[in-house]
């Protein structure tokens, strides 16, 4: 009998010099300060890029955190389980290649892992800043609590016989 720990990638995306647009990175950095279950890897994905394709492919499960300009109230934290790139909010903020492009490449190459998206609604017209707005800081703290609780609830080991 062999035990295999499920590998979960927690990937925060965003540009931290663009204020709230960097909220995904702020969340993943905060999660790194917590004691997380075995098999959980936190990754600051910055502004994306195809370099993230390998970590996505090496994970059994993916938790993605990003900013969205989705029409919800600023600071809204939304958890979804999209199956295809078209299922992501239509206005995820801009990154180098675009999150949807990265996910399309992931799915085309056979990526079929469970993906959980935590989108935090921001104001896309905010001023450039290294800090999160008060609304977004509160939402980031909420997302950290939600993600940590979910990771602890779903920590799992697969038993192979």
At the topology level, CATH places domain 2-160 in: Rossmann fold (3.40.50)
Instruction: Name the DSSP letter for residue 20.
Output: G
Nearest to 40 by CA among 10, 81, 3, 79: 10
Predicted confidence at residue 93, as pLDDT, reads 52
Predicted confidence at residue 96, as pLDDT, reads 46
Nearest to 9 by CA among 20, 32, 21: 32
Predicted confidence at residue 30, as pLDDT, reads 97
| Tens of each residue's pLDDT in the chain, 161 residues | 666 788 999 999 988 888 999 999 999 999 999 999 999 999 998 877 777 888 888 888 999 999 988 889 999 999 998 776 667 765 555 554 566 667 777 767 666 677 899 999 998 888 788 899 999 999 999 999 999 999 998 876 554 55
Predicted confidence at residue 90, as pLDDT, reads 55
Phi and psi at residue 56, in whole multiples of 5°?
A: -65, -45
Contacts of 153 (CB under 8 A, 6+ apart): none
Distance CA 110, CA 112 (A): 6
What's this model's pTM, rounded to 2 decimal places? Answer: 0.84
Residue 159 in tokens: 């038993």
Nearest to 45 by CA among 74, 15, 21: 15
pLDDT in tens, 22-66: 999 999 999 999 999 999 999 998 877 777 888 888 888 999 999
Predicted confidence at residue 75, as pLDDT, reads 95
Domain residues of the chain, as ranges?
A: 2-160
What is the torsional sign of CA 21, 102, 84, 24? negative
Residue 92 contacts residue 41 (beta carbons within 8 Å): no
Residue 147 in tokens: 């993600």
Predicted confidence at residue 100, as pLDDT, reads 65
Predicted confidence at residue 118, as pLDDT, reads 95
Predicted confidence at residue 157, as pLDDT, reads 54
Distance CA 118, CA 137 (A): 15
Predicted confidence at residue 159, as pLDDT, reads 47
């Amino acid at each position: 009998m062999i035990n295999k720990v499920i590998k979960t990638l927690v990937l925060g995306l965003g540009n931290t010099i663009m204020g709230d647009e960097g909220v995904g990175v702020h969340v993943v950095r905060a999660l790194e300060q917590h004691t997380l279950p075995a098999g959980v890897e936190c990754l600051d994905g910055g502004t994306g890029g195809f370099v993230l394709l390998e970590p996505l492919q090496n994970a059994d499960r993916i938790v993605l955190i990003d900013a969205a300009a989705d029409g919800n109230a600023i600071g809204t934290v939304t958890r979804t389980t999209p199956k295809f790139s078209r299922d992501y909010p239509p206005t995820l903020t801009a990154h180098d290649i675009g999150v949807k492009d990265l996910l399309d490449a992931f799915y085309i190459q056979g990526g079929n892992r469970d993906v959980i998206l935590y989108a935090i609604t921001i104001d896309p017209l905010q001023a450039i800043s290294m800090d999160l707005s008060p609304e977004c800081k509160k939402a980031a703290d909420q997302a950290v609590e939600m993600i940590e609780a979910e990771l602890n609830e779903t920590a799992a080991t697969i038993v192979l016989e």
